Chains A and B, each alone.
With several copies, the nearest count.
Chain A
Amino acid sequence: MIVTVQSLADAVRRMEAALLADEAKLNSADSLMGDGDTGSMLTRMFTAIAHIDFEAIDDIGQAFREMARAGSSTTGSSLGTLIIVALITVAKATNGNTSLDAHDIAAHIGAAKLAMMTRGRSAIGDKTIIDGLDFVERAIGDTSTDEPLAIRAVVASRLAVEDFRNRTSRVGRARLLADRSVGLDDPGMLALCTIVRAIANSE
């Protein structure tokens, strides 16, 4: 299986629709500890990304770069910027190719995750989207099963939410609020679920 600009463009449209559908849910998850804008920000961002004229692009690296550019024009929020960082990382790695091999997806996610950690000054275990990506990366990279990639990714993104629900958040308003985060789902991890589900939902 390979990812082409065409299939990427289709996935983007599904992501936009899925984020729109989950907008209120994500906002309200963020409003419990944060400023309540995760859903609105991502919807705005992916609406701009979905407006890219993918037809005019051959190079998949170029497509990711345009996605980063379009996304960046809409936000400077933490989560939005981290996603842009991820897109730039993948864009650099795939530049010059017309497609991306499914076998490389785990490695791309890993590289993106590292770039996000560097930029975000956060670590595995902080209860952020990074942990969601970490789960997804490991699930996709798992060679001991022949369950479809897409299914494994969706399940992993959900498992990450479950796994972290009763742990404490370590970014944002930091330690003073940490206790309150126990029992709450991280909005970035929830957003990753929405995105991964939309990508997987290809039929």
Chain B
Amino acid sequence: MKKLINAPERYVDEMLEGLTLAHPELSLIGDQGRVVARSTIAQPGKVGIVSGGGSGHLPLFCGYVGHGLLDACAIGNVFEGPNMASCEDAIRRADSGAGVLCLYGNYGGDRMNFDMASELVEMDSIDVKTVLGTDDIASAEAEEAAKRRGVAGLVFAFKTSGARAAKMGTLEQVAQIAQDTVSRTRTIGMGLSPSFLPGSSVGSFEIEPHEVEMGTGIHGEKGIWRAPLQKADQLVDEMVERLLDEKPDNIGSDVAVLVNGMGATSLEELFILYRRVKQRLDGFGFSIRVPLVGSFVTSMEMAGASLSLCFLDKELETLLKAPASCPFWKVGDI
């Protein structure tokens, strides 16, 4: 696979170097230079929010470090969790005395390394709470919802908990908002073409030139079905229905929507998808309060898209609309 890189083994570090050179508001710290943090340390007493995960998903994860969002982010190799030392460095950096929320996707490696790092920093009396993104409804059955993986919907939790932390909420409150957001968020993806690990010529999944796969994850994890590509409206209809089938209990009619591109899918296509999402949600009586369309969580050159719904209450809506600023996403004026 053709990539504009120098060497597979330098991919992550050169990417991080470029990112922080282009965005001096972000700094590369940590023993191995695998932690991205805000260059200006947050005000004392603010709860820190840390995320992390494998590389290859920009803007996720480290692109969301910024005001009203994350404080630090531990970065792993492509599609691998961050190592324990990076998780520890990120947590220590994010702590300014009020504790740290670790908020990341529910992947084995990520979880083990963050857990071990949390145990280490807790020995130094840093309070840590963990909330895991579990929005991908295709990654496990509803009865095992806790086993689901975190994908694009994680961005909603970054935003709400980040806003709550910026308003000087306690660790308890910030974690509660993150958990509440995760519990109210559902995502389903679809893949048209795979991504490739740097240096590899084998794709993250195999698919015929005319096929689409419903339910693929952000590493190309296998989905629910695969069939010849259908019309965009038909795919959206199924996605909306699958998400609504799993909507949480006791929700209102307000939703936030993220139509997310996986990398190679054009903005044009994402807007064609959004058009139908809006029609269908309107039809079901929902009101879209926060529409997001773009490539927020990618899988390098993978073609495809995901749809995330976050079922809002007033508080979450306010937090989603609160000012925030990171290299890839600005909301309101700070």
Residues on A close to B: CB < 8 A? 27-28, 31, 33-37, 40-41, 72-82, 84-85, 119-121, 171-177, 180
Contacts and interface: CB of A to CB of B under 8 A. Distances in A.
A182 B149 CA distance: 22
Q: Is the interface of A mostly helix, strand, loop or mixed?
A: helix
A173 B139 contact: yes
Contact of A77 (B32, B80, B84): B80
B108 A120 contact: yes
Contact of A176 (B115, B139, B202): B139
Interface of B: 32, 54, 74, 76-77, 79-87, 107-113, 115-116, 138-141, 144, 147-149, 197, 200, 202, 204, 215, 217, 219-222, 224
Given A35-B220, A82-B112, A75 B144 contact: no
Nearest to B141: A175
Contact of B76 (A28, A34, A76, A85): A76
Contact of B222 (A36, A40, A41, A173): A173
A130 to B, nearest CB: 12
Given A28-B202, A172-B108, A174-B144, A76 B138 contact: no
A78 B202 contact: no
A24 B4 CA distance: 24
Nearest to B149: A173
Contacts of B224: 176
Contact of B81 (A33, A76, A173, A180): A76
Contacts of A33: 222
Nearest to B82: A76
B144 A175 contact: yes
A40 to B, nearest CB: 7
Given A73-B32, A81-B84, 10 more contacts: A27-B200, A28-B202, A37-B79, A37-B80, A74-B77, A76-B82, A76-B113, A81-B112, A120-B108, A176-B139
Most buried by A among B108, B111, B144, B197: B108
B84 A37 contact: no
Contact of B112 (A37, A85, A180): A85
Nearest to B224: A176
Contacts of B84: 72, 76, 81, 84
A115 B141 CA distance: 27
